[in-house]
Structure 1
Amino acid sequence: MTADTSDHTAVLMTGAAGALGHAVVDEFLGAGRPVVALDRPGERLDALGTREGVHPVPVDLGSRAAVQAAFAAVDALPVEPAALVCLAGGFTPGALADVDEAMLGSLFGSNFGAVLWCVQAAAPRFAARGGGAVVTVGSKTAVTGPGPVAHATSKAAVVRLTSLLADELRPQRIRVNAVLPSVIDTPANRTWMSPDLASRAVAPSAIAKVIAFLCGPDSSPVSGAAIPVYGDA
Protein backbone atom coordinates (compact mmCIF):
# COMPACT_ATOMS: atom_id res chain seq x y z
CA MET A 1 0.00 0.00 0.00
CA THR A 2 1.03 3.63 -0.33
CA ALA A 3 0.15 6.76 1.57
CA ASP A 4 0.68 10.41 0.76
CA THR A 5 3.18 11.35 3.46
CA SER A 6 5.59 13.58 1.57
CA ASP A 7 8.71 14.83 3.25
CA HIS A 8 7.44 18.38 3.85
CA THR A 9 3.90 17.88 5.12
CA ALA A 10 3.18 18.68 8.76
CA VAL A 11 3.19 16.21 11.63
CA LEU A 12 0.65 16.18 14.44
CA MET A 13 2.37 15.16 17.67
CA THR A 14 1.06 14.51 21.17
CA GLY A 15 3.50 14.68 24.06
CA ALA A 16 5.79 16.90 22.01
CA ALA A 17 6.93 18.85 25.08
CA GLY A 18 8.44 15.78 26.78
CA ALA A 19 12.00 14.48 26.57
CA LEU A 20 11.31 12.04 23.73
CA GLY A 21 9.01 14.62 22.18
CA HIS A 22 11.80 17.19 21.90
CA ALA A 23 14.00 14.68 20.09
CA VAL A 24 11.21 13.78 17.68
CA VAL A 25 10.41 17.45 17.09
CA ASP A 26 14.10 18.08 16.30
CA GLU A 27 14.11 15.19 13.84
CA PHE A 28 11.08 16.45 11.92
CA LEU A 29 12.09 20.11 11.94
CA GLY A 30 15.51 19.10 10.70
CA ALA A 31 13.81 17.39 7.77
CA GLY A 32 11.75 20.48 7.01
CA ARG A 33 8.47 19.14 8.37
CA PRO A 34 6.42 21.50 10.58
CA VAL A 35 5.06 20.11 13.85
CA VAL A 36 1.65 20.71 15.41
CA ALA A 37 2.28 20.09 19.11
CA LEU A 38 -0.81 18.77 20.91
CA ASP A 39 -0.10 18.75 24.64
CA ARG A 40 -1.41 19.89 27.98
CA PRO A 41 -1.29 23.66 28.46
CA GLY A 42 1.64 25.02 30.41
CA GLU A 43 5.13 26.46 30.30
CA ARG A 44 6.70 23.52 28.48
CA LEU A 45 4.26 23.74 25.60
CA ASP A 46 4.59 27.53 25.52
CA ALA A 47 8.38 27.25 25.29
CA LEU A 48 8.16 24.66 22.53
CA GLY A 49 5.78 26.91 20.65
CA THR A 50 8.42 29.62 20.34
CA ARG A 51 10.42 27.44 17.95
CA GLU A 52 10.08 28.17 14.25
CA GLY A 53 7.96 25.53 12.58
CA VAL A 54 6.12 24.46 15.75
CA HIS A 55 2.42 25.21 16.19
CA PRO A 56 1.29 24.61 19.81
CA VAL A 57 -2.27 23.48 20.46
CA PRO A 58 -3.18 23.01 24.15
CA VAL A 59 -5.56 20.13 24.79
CA ASP A 60 -6.70 17.61 27.39
CA LEU A 61 -5.95 14.43 25.45
CA GLY A 62 -8.05 12.33 27.82
CA SER A 63 -11.24 14.06 26.69
CA ARG A 64 -12.80 13.07 23.36
CA ALA A 65 -14.63 16.41 23.12
CA ALA A 66 -11.44 18.36 23.85
CA VAL A 67 -9.51 16.42 21.21
CA GLN A 68 -12.22 17.04 18.63
CA ALA A 69 -12.10 20.77 19.43
CA ALA A 70 -8.30 20.79 19.19
CA PHE A 71 -8.38 19.18 15.76
CA ALA A 72 -10.89 21.80 14.64
CA ALA A 73 -8.32 24.40 15.74
CA VAL A 74 -5.64 22.56 13.77
CA ASP A 75 -7.82 22.83 10.67
CA ALA A 76 -7.42 26.60 10.85
CA LEU A 77 -3.60 26.46 10.90
CA PRO A 78 -1.57 27.17 7.73
CA VAL A 79 -0.27 23.58 7.57
CA GLU A 80 -1.41 20.31 6.01
CA PRO A 81 -0.81 17.41 8.43
CA ALA A 82 -0.18 14.00 6.90
CA ALA A 83 1.08 12.16 9.98
CA LEU A 84 0.15 11.70 13.62
CA VAL A 85 2.67 10.68 16.27
CA CYS A 86 1.12 9.69 19.60
CA LEU A 87 3.87 10.12 22.20
CA ALA A 88 1.76 11.27 25.13
CA GLY A 89 1.17 8.78 27.92
CA GLY A 90 1.56 8.06 31.59
CA PHE A 91 3.57 5.69 33.75
CA THR A 92 2.82 4.39 37.21
CA PRO A 93 4.75 1.46 38.68
CA GLY A 94 2.87 -1.24 40.50
CA ALA A 95 2.48 -4.99 40.92
CA LEU A 96 -0.89 -6.74 41.03
CA ALA A 97 -1.58 -5.82 44.66
CA ASP A 98 -0.91 -2.13 43.96
CA VAL A 99 -3.49 -1.68 41.20
CA ASP A 100 -6.64 0.23 42.13
CA GLU A 101 -9.41 1.93 40.19
CA ALA A 102 -7.66 5.29 40.09
CA MET A 103 -4.41 3.87 38.72
CA LEU A 104 -6.17 1.72 36.13
CA GLY A 105 -8.40 4.55 34.95
CA SER A 106 -5.55 7.02 34.76
CA LEU A 107 -3.23 4.75 32.76
CA PHE A 108 -5.86 3.56 30.32
CA GLY A 109 -7.02 7.14 29.85
CA SER A 110 -3.56 8.58 29.22
CA ASN A 111 -2.10 5.67 27.26
CA PHE A 112 -5.01 4.09 25.40
CA GLY A 113 -7.72 6.75 25.41
CA ALA A 114 -5.50 9.57 24.17
CA VAL A 115 -4.40 7.48 21.18
CA LEU A 116 -7.94 6.39 20.36
CA TRP A 117 -9.38 9.91 20.45
CA CYS A 118 -6.56 11.38 18.37
CA VAL A 119 -6.66 8.73 15.66
CA GLN A 120 -10.45 8.98 15.60
CA ALA A 121 -10.10 12.71 14.87
CA ALA A 122 -7.17 12.41 12.47
CA ALA A 123 -8.37 9.50 10.32
CA PRO A 124 -11.15 11.28 8.39
CA ARG A 125 -8.87 14.24 7.77
CA PHE A 126 -6.07 12.03 6.45
CA ALA A 127 -8.53 10.06 4.33
CA ALA A 128 -9.85 13.27 2.78
CA ARG A 129 -6.35 14.25 1.66
CA GLY A 130 -5.56 10.81 0.23
CA GLY A 131 -3.80 9.04 3.06
CA GLY A 132 -1.44 9.46 5.97
CA ALA A 133 0.60 7.75 8.66
CA VAL A 134 0.08 7.17 12.37
CA VAL A 135 2.73 6.09 14.87
CA THR A 136 1.77 4.95 18.36
CA VAL A 137 4.00 4.13 21.33
CA GLY A 138 3.64 0.79 23.07
CA SER A 139 6.37 -0.62 25.27
CA LYS A 140 8.62 -3.64 25.60
CA THR A 141 6.58 -4.72 28.63
CA ALA A 142 3.43 -4.73 26.48
CA VAL A 143 4.69 -7.75 24.57
CA THR A 144 7.31 -9.53 26.67
CA GLY A 145 8.93 -9.86 30.10
CA PRO A 146 7.89 -8.59 33.52
CA GLY A 147 6.43 -5.14 34.00
CA PRO A 148 4.06 -2.97 36.03
CA VAL A 149 0.67 -4.63 35.66
CA ALA A 150 -1.60 -1.69 34.83
CA HIS A 151 0.94 0.20 32.73
CA ALA A 152 2.03 -2.83 30.69
CA THR A 153 -1.59 -3.84 30.11
CA SER A 154 -2.57 -0.35 28.94
CA LYS A 155 0.35 -0.37 26.52
CA ALA A 156 -0.63 -3.84 25.31
CA ALA A 157 -4.01 -2.35 24.50
CA VAL A 158 -2.26 0.31 22.43
CA VAL A 159 -0.35 -2.34 20.48
CA ARG A 160 -3.55 -4.27 19.73
CA LEU A 161 -5.34 -1.03 18.83
CA THR A 162 -2.55 -0.29 16.37
CA SER A 163 -3.10 -3.61 14.63
CA LEU A 164 -6.86 -3.14 14.50
CA LEU A 165 -6.58 0.39 13.12
CA ALA A 166 -4.03 -0.68 10.51
CA ASP A 167 -6.58 -3.15 9.14
CA GLU A 168 -9.54 -0.76 9.35
CA LEU A 169 -7.77 2.24 7.83
CA ARG A 170 -5.76 0.46 5.14
CA PRO A 171 -8.44 1.02 2.45
CA GLN A 172 -8.14 4.75 3.15
CA ARG A 173 -4.37 4.61 2.60
CA ILE A 174 -3.66 5.36 6.26
CA ARG A 175 -0.81 3.36 7.74
CA VAL A 176 -0.66 2.68 11.49
CA ASN A 177 2.46 1.36 13.23
CA ALA A 178 3.78 1.16 16.78
CA VAL A 179 7.22 1.52 18.30
CA LEU A 180 8.08 -0.39 21.46
CA PRO A 181 10.60 1.38 23.70
CA SER A 182 11.92 0.21 27.05
CA VAL A 183 14.18 2.46 29.12
CA ILE A 184 14.89 5.73 27.34
CA ASP A 185 17.99 7.75 28.22
CA THR A 186 16.36 10.92 29.56
CA PRO A 187 17.45 13.25 32.38
CA ALA A 188 14.53 12.07 34.53
CA ASN A 189 15.41 8.41 34.02
CA ARG A 190 19.06 9.10 34.77
CA THR A 191 18.06 10.01 38.33
CA TRP A 192 17.22 6.39 39.15
CA MET A 193 19.10 4.27 36.59
CA SER A 194 22.11 2.21 37.63
CA PRO A 195 25.31 2.88 35.68
CA ASP A 196 24.85 -0.41 33.85
CA LEU A 197 21.29 0.39 32.81
CA ALA A 198 22.27 3.92 31.84
CA SER A 199 24.89 2.48 29.49
CA ARG A 200 22.18 0.40 27.79
CA ALA A 201 19.34 2.91 27.71
CA VAL A 202 18.32 4.05 24.23
CA ALA A 203 18.89 7.65 23.18
CA PRO A 204 15.70 9.58 22.31
CA SER A 205 17.30 10.69 19.05
CA ALA A 206 17.65 7.06 17.93
CA ILE A 207 13.95 6.40 18.54
CA ALA A 208 13.10 9.66 16.78
CA LYS A 209 14.75 8.44 13.58
CA VAL A 210 12.61 5.28 13.55
CA ILE A 211 9.45 7.34 14.12
CA ALA A 212 10.38 9.73 11.33
CA PHE A 213 10.97 6.82 8.98
CA LEU A 214 7.52 5.40 9.77
CA CYS A 215 5.99 8.78 8.96
CA GLY A 216 7.76 9.13 5.64
CA PRO A 217 7.31 7.80 2.11
CA ASP A 218 10.13 5.25 2.38
CA SER A 219 8.00 3.21 4.80
CA SER A 220 4.97 3.10 2.49
CA PRO A 221 4.76 -0.75 2.53
CA VAL A 222 4.72 -0.91 6.33
CA SER A 223 1.49 -0.97 8.35
CA GLY A 224 0.40 -2.91 11.42
CA ALA A 225 3.96 -3.37 12.67
CA ALA A 226 5.12 -3.27 16.30
CA ILE A 227 8.78 -2.35 16.06
CA PRO A 228 11.15 -2.92 19.01
CA VAL A 229 13.25 0.16 19.74
CA TYR A 230 14.62 -0.99 23.07
CA GLY A 231 18.08 -2.21 22.07
CA ASP A 232 19.62 -3.92 25.10
CA ALA A 233 17.58 -2.02 27.68
Structure 2
Amino acid sequence: MGERVVAITGGHGVLGRAAVEAALAQGLKVAVIDHASGHAVPEGVLEVGGVDLTDAKAAAQAMEAVVARFGRLDALLNIAGGFVWQAVEGGGDEWDWMHALNLKTTLNASRAALAHLKASAEGRIVNVGAHGALKAAHGMGAYAASKSAVHRLTEALADELKSTSVTVNAVLPSIIDTPANRADMPDADPARWVAPADLAAAILFLASPEARAITGALVPVTGRV
Protein backbone atom coordinates (compact mmCIF):
# COMPACT_ATOMS: atom_id res chain seq x y z
CA MET A 1 0.00 0.00 0.00
CA GLY A 2 3.01 2.30 0.42
CA GLU A 3 3.62 4.83 3.14
CA ARG A 4 0.39 6.41 4.30
CA VAL A 5 0.20 10.19 4.50
CA VAL A 6 -1.75 11.99 7.20
CA ALA A 7 -2.60 15.70 7.37
CA ILE A 8 -3.20 17.09 10.85
CA THR A 9 -4.96 20.43 11.22
CA GLY A 10 -4.16 22.31 14.40
CA GLY A 11 -0.96 20.31 14.52
CA HIS A 12 0.89 22.85 16.66
CA GLY A 13 -1.54 22.57 19.58
CA VAL A 14 -1.26 20.19 22.52
CA LEU A 15 -3.43 17.47 20.99
CA GLY A 16 -2.04 18.13 17.53
CA ARG A 17 1.52 17.58 18.69
CA ALA A 18 0.48 14.34 20.39
CA ALA A 19 -1.14 13.20 17.14
CA VAL A 20 2.03 14.07 15.19
CA GLU A 21 4.12 11.97 17.59
CA ALA A 22 1.68 9.05 17.38
CA ALA A 23 1.58 9.18 13.59
CA LEU A 24 5.36 9.26 13.30
CA ALA A 25 5.63 6.34 15.72
CA GLN A 26 3.44 4.36 13.30
CA GLY A 27 5.71 5.20 10.38
CA LEU A 28 3.30 7.60 8.69
CA LYS A 29 4.26 10.60 6.61
CA VAL A 30 2.93 13.70 8.37
CA ALA A 31 1.86 17.18 7.34
CA VAL A 32 0.97 19.80 9.94
CA ILE A 33 -1.56 22.42 8.85
CA ASP A 34 -1.99 25.31 11.26
CA HIS A 35 -2.83 28.99 11.49
CA ALA A 36 0.44 29.43 13.36
CA SER A 37 3.74 29.08 11.53
CA GLY A 38 7.44 28.85 12.23
CA HIS A 39 7.15 26.23 14.96
CA ALA A 40 9.75 23.50 15.14
CA VAL A 41 8.53 20.21 13.72
CA PRO A 42 10.20 16.79 13.72
CA GLU A 43 12.44 15.91 10.80
CA GLY A 44 10.50 14.89 7.72
CA VAL A 45 7.26 16.56 8.82
CA LEU A 46 5.82 19.09 6.39
CA GLU A 47 4.64 22.32 8.01
CA VAL A 48 1.96 24.22 6.13
CA GLY A 49 1.66 27.31 8.31
CA GLY A 50 -0.27 30.54 8.20
CA VAL A 51 -3.41 28.77 7.00
CA ASP A 52 -6.84 30.20 7.77
CA LEU A 53 -9.04 27.13 7.51
CA THR A 54 -12.17 29.26 7.80
CA ASP A 55 -11.32 30.22 4.20
CA ALA A 56 -12.19 27.44 1.74
CA LYS A 57 -9.55 28.52 -0.80
CA ALA A 58 -6.84 28.51 1.86
CA ALA A 59 -7.89 25.02 2.94
CA ALA A 60 -7.71 23.79 -0.66
CA GLN A 61 -4.26 25.30 -1.14
CA ALA A 62 -3.04 23.62 2.05
CA MET A 63 -4.20 20.17 0.88
CA GLU A 64 -2.60 20.73 -2.51
CA ALA A 65 0.67 21.55 -0.74
CA VAL A 66 0.50 18.25 1.13
CA VAL A 67 -0.10 16.24 -2.03
CA ALA A 68 2.61 18.17 -3.89
CA ARG A 69 5.10 17.13 -1.20
CA PHE A 70 4.08 13.52 -0.61
CA GLY A 71 2.16 12.58 -3.77
CA ARG A 72 -0.92 11.40 -1.90
CA LEU A 73 -3.18 11.88 1.10
CA ASP A 74 -4.66 9.00 3.06
CA ALA A 75 -6.03 10.52 6.26
CA LEU A 76 -7.17 13.88 7.56
CA LEU A 77 -7.25 14.57 11.29
CA ASN A 78 -9.38 17.64 11.96
CA ILE A 79 -7.95 18.79 15.28
CA ALA A 80 -8.03 22.56 14.68
CA GLY A 81 -10.59 24.26 16.92
CA GLY A 82 -11.06 26.12 20.15
CA PHE A 83 -13.13 26.69 23.27
CA VAL A 84 -14.80 29.60 24.99
CA TRP A 85 -16.94 29.67 28.14
CA GLN A 86 -19.67 32.30 27.96
CA ALA A 87 -23.20 32.54 29.28
CA VAL A 88 -25.86 33.30 26.70
CA GLU A 89 -26.98 36.41 28.57
CA GLY A 90 -24.42 39.17 28.19
CA GLY A 91 -22.46 37.35 25.53
CA GLY A 92 -21.06 38.76 22.31
CA ASP A 93 -19.93 37.12 19.09
CA GLU A 94 -18.89 33.82 20.71
CA TRP A 95 -21.44 31.85 18.69
CA ASP A 96 -20.08 33.06 15.35
CA TRP A 97 -16.51 32.57 16.56
CA MET A 98 -17.09 29.00 17.74
CA HIS A 99 -19.00 28.16 14.57
CA ALA A 100 -16.07 29.36 12.46
CA LEU A 101 -13.32 27.87 14.59
CA ASN A 102 -14.84 24.43 15.17
CA LEU A 103 -17.32 23.69 12.39
CA LYS A 104 -16.13 25.74 9.44
CA THR A 105 -12.50 24.66 9.74
CA THR A 106 -13.57 21.01 9.84
CA LEU A 107 -15.93 21.43 6.89
CA ASN A 108 -13.45 23.31 4.71
CA ALA A 109 -10.56 20.95 5.41
CA SER A 110 -12.74 17.90 4.73
CA ARG A 111 -14.07 19.26 1.45
CA ALA A 112 -10.57 20.20 0.34
CA ALA A 113 -9.22 16.74 1.14
CA LEU A 114 -12.03 14.62 -0.30
CA ALA A 115 -10.78 14.14 -3.85
CA HIS A 116 -7.38 13.05 -2.56
CA LEU A 117 -8.83 10.78 0.12
CA LYS A 118 -11.10 9.06 -2.40
CA ALA A 119 -7.98 8.17 -4.39
CA SER A 120 -6.64 6.26 -1.39
CA ALA A 121 -7.50 2.62 -0.89
CA GLU A 122 -8.19 3.41 2.77
CA GLY A 123 -9.19 7.07 3.07
CA ARG A 124 -9.96 8.42 6.53
CA ILE A 125 -11.35 11.55 8.15
CA VAL A 126 -11.29 11.81 11.92
CA ASN A 127 -12.94 14.82 13.56
CA VAL A 128 -12.74 16.08 17.12
CA GLY A 129 -16.16 16.62 18.64
CA ALA A 130 -16.87 16.99 22.34
CA HIS A 131 -18.54 14.86 24.98
CA GLY A 132 -19.78 18.13 26.52
CA ALA A 133 -21.76 18.78 23.34
CA LEU A 134 -24.09 15.86 24.05
CA LYS A 135 -25.77 17.95 26.74
CA ALA A 136 -24.77 21.58 27.09
CA ALA A 137 -24.31 23.17 30.50
CA HIS A 138 -24.21 26.77 31.72
CA GLY A 139 -21.63 28.72 29.73
CA MET A 140 -21.18 25.94 27.19
CA GLY A 141 -23.85 26.94 24.67
CA ALA A 142 -21.70 28.37 21.88
CA TYR A 143 -19.00 25.72 22.18
CA ALA A 144 -21.45 22.83 22.48
CA ALA A 145 -23.52 24.04 19.54
CA SER A 146 -20.47 24.20 17.30
CA LYS A 147 -19.21 20.78 18.35
CA SER A 148 -22.69 19.28 18.01
CA ALA A 149 -22.59 20.56 14.44
CA VAL A 150 -19.29 18.71 13.98
CA HIS A 151 -21.06 15.54 15.17
CA ARG A 152 -23.83 16.00 12.60
CA LEU A 153 -21.29 16.77 9.85
CA THR A 154 -19.45 13.56 10.75
CA GLU A 155 -22.60 11.48 10.44
CA ALA A 156 -23.79 13.12 7.23
CA LEU A 157 -20.45 12.90 5.46
CA ALA A 158 -19.94 9.29 6.55
CA ASP A 159 -23.28 8.37 5.00
CA GLU A 160 -22.48 10.37 1.87
CA LEU A 161 -19.20 8.51 1.39
CA LYS A 162 -20.38 4.95 2.05
CA SER A 163 -19.83 3.98 -1.58
CA THR A 164 -16.18 5.11 -1.42
CA SER A 165 -13.06 4.02 0.44
CA VAL A 166 -13.39 6.93 2.87
CA THR A 167 -14.67 6.56 6.42
CA VAL A 168 -15.57 9.49 8.64
CA ASN A 169 -15.63 9.30 12.44
CA ALA A 170 -15.25 11.58 15.44
CA VAL A 171 -13.83 11.30 18.92
CA LEU A 172 -15.74 12.96 21.75
CA PRO A 173 -13.29 13.82 24.53
CA SER A 174 -14.21 15.17 27.92
CA ILE A 175 -11.57 17.35 29.59
CA ILE A 176 -8.16 17.03 27.98
CA ASP A 177 -5.12 17.32 30.21
CA THR A 178 -3.55 20.52 28.88
CA PRO A 179 -1.62 23.32 30.61
CA ALA A 180 -4.52 25.68 29.95
CA ASN A 181 -7.05 23.36 31.60
CA ARG A 182 -4.77 22.82 34.58
CA ALA A 183 -4.47 26.59 35.00
CA ASP A 184 -8.23 27.09 34.68
CA MET A 185 -9.10 24.25 37.11
CA PRO A 186 -6.31 24.18 39.71
CA ASP A 187 -8.36 22.19 42.23
CA ALA A 188 -9.25 19.38 39.83
CA ASP A 189 -7.44 16.05 39.51
CA PRO A 190 -5.95 15.95 35.99
CA ALA A 191 -5.21 12.25 36.40
CA ARG A 192 -8.91 11.73 35.78
CA TRP A 193 -8.85 13.69 32.53
CA VAL A 194 -7.92 12.45 29.07
CA ALA A 195 -4.19 12.48 28.35
CA PRO A 196 -3.41 13.94 24.91
CA ALA A 197 -1.39 10.83 24.02
CA ASP A 198 -4.35 8.57 24.84
CA LEU A 199 -6.73 10.67 22.76
CA ALA A 200 -4.23 10.72 19.91
CA ALA A 201 -4.03 6.93 20.04
CA ALA A 202 -7.81 6.69 19.61
CA ILE A 203 -7.68 9.15 16.71
CA LEU A 204 -4.87 7.26 14.98
CA PHE A 205 -6.75 3.99 15.30
CA LEU A 206 -9.78 5.49 13.56
CA ALA A 207 -7.40 6.80 10.89
CA SER A 208 -5.89 3.36 10.29
CA PRO A 209 -6.81 0.73 7.69
CA GLU A 210 -7.83 -1.55 10.56
CA ALA A 211 -10.78 0.76 11.33
CA ARG A 212 -12.32 0.25 7.89
CA ALA A 213 -15.53 -1.23 9.35
CA ILE A 214 -16.22 1.88 11.44
CA THR A 215 -17.84 4.94 9.91
CA GLY A 216 -20.24 7.57 11.21
CA ALA A 217 -19.24 6.76 14.79
CA LEU A 218 -19.05 9.30 17.61
CA VAL A 219 -16.60 7.69 20.00
CA PRO A 220 -16.55 8.91 23.63
CA VAL A 221 -13.03 9.29 25.02
CA THR A 222 -13.71 10.49 28.54
CA GLY A 223 -11.03 9.18 30.86
CA ARG A 224 -12.48 8.84 34.37
CA VAL A 225 -14.35 12.14 34.55
After TM superposition, the score normalised by the length of structure 1 is 0.90
Contact 2:53/2:108, CA 8 A, preserved across alignment = yes
Q: Paired residues, what number?
A: 223
Alignment correspondent of 2:212: 220
1:12-91 aligned at under 5 Å gives the runs 12-43=7-38, 46-48=39-41, 51-58=42-49, 59-91=51-83
Give 1:211's aligned amino acid: I
Supply the distance in 2 between the matched residues of 1:75 and 1:21 (Cα, whole angstroms).
Answer: 20
CA positional deviation for 1:72: 2.0
Contact 2:37/2:48, CA 8 A, preserved across alignment = no
The C-alpha deviation readout for 1:105-143, integer Å capped at 9, x for no partner, is 111011000010011011111113344000000101111
Alignment correspondent of 1:111: 102
Supply the distance in 2 between the matched residues of 1:79 and 1:205 (Cα, whole angstroms).
Answer: 28
CA positional deviation for 1:42: 2.7
CA positional deviation for 1:79: 4.5
Q: Percent identity?
A: 38
Give 1:119's aligned amino acid: S
Q: 1:139 to 1:98 in 2, by over 3 A?
A: farther
Contact 1:8/1:31, CA 8 A, preserved across alignment = no
Give 1:34's aligned amino acid: K
1:124 is the counterpart of 2:119: no
Unaligned runs of 5+ in 1: 1-5
Supply the distance in 2 between the matched residues of 1:219 and 1:130 (Cα, whole angstroms).
Answer: 13
Contact 1:7/1:32, CA 8 A, preserved across alignment = no
SS in 1 for 2:61: helix
Higher helix share: 1
Moved more, 90-99 or 216-225: 90-99
Give 1:70's aligned amino acid: A
SS in 2 for 1:207: helix
Contact 1:136/1:178, CA 8 A, preserved across alignment = yes
Q: Which runs of 4+ in 1 moved over 6 A?
A: none
Higher relative contact order (Cα pairs below 8 Å, separated by 6+ residues): 1
1:164 is the counterpart of 2:156: yes
SS in 2 for 1:67: helix
The C-alpha deviation readout for 1:68-104, integer Å capped at 9, x for no partner, is 122222221134220000000011111221433x211
Unaligned runs of 5+ in 2: none
Give 2:142's aligned amino acid: A
